[in-house]
Structure 1
């Protein structure tokens, strides 16, 4: 069974997957419900992040980049990255994160 929401973190400055990044998935609602917490694997992925289906709504991925940069001995400007996104349909949603110490980008993956 695959999670409805997955992520993949790449360290573009080093040209490697970002292993060991703590990630938290939350649904943004009156209670800001935390759905899952995980750590990226050796390939920088979190495939098992929360339920296999999620209702329409607004969700947030929080990446603890400070922990990753400390573990890899790098300086960082953004100690955390938060990506907020809206889900309107039942399907798999993949949200990759590309990191460097002084920049990041994300997109709707497949």
Structure 2
């Protein structure tokens, strides 16, 4: 059974990105459909898969991470507007029977991602 998971690592402080708000959208052309809105736990992960089973379908998705709010809550002084306020990751799922893990490594001025395991 396929599933979609994520986690956030804070490269600035060297710790998990805890209590980060994120939204998952399904992309259909120019339209976005909100599928889930949640927060990361103390380990920078979500307590359950974002999608799994029949709800996890082939297609294009977007994850929106509120990293600006996260850094402001930690007392990090960001310029206005912040260089990175919301990190948006758009990715495709060709085989929904597989596990897709989409981690985010973030700082106030950069981010990286990859397809994890």
Normalised to the residue count of structure 1, the TM-score between the two structures is 0.90
Shift of 1:29: 1.1
User: Which of structure 1's runs of 4+ aligned residues deviate more than 3 A?
Assistant: none
Name 1:95's counterpart in structure 2: 102
Name 2:40's counterpart in structure 1: 40
Shift of 1:36: 0.7
Instruction: Name the SS for the 2:6 alignment partner.
Output: strand
Contact 1:7/1:47, CA 8 A, preserved across alignment: no
Name 1:85's counterpart in structure 2: 91
Report the count of equivalent residues. 109
Name 1:14's counterpart in structure 2: 13
Structure 1 unpaired stretches of 5+: none
Contact 2:68/2:108, CA 8 A, preserved across alignment: no
Normalised to the residue count of structure 2, the TM-score between the two structures is 0.85
Instruction: Name the SS for the 2:98 alignment partner.
Output: coil
Instruction: Name the SS for the 1:34 alignment partner.
Output: strand
Name 1:55's counterpart in structure 2: 57
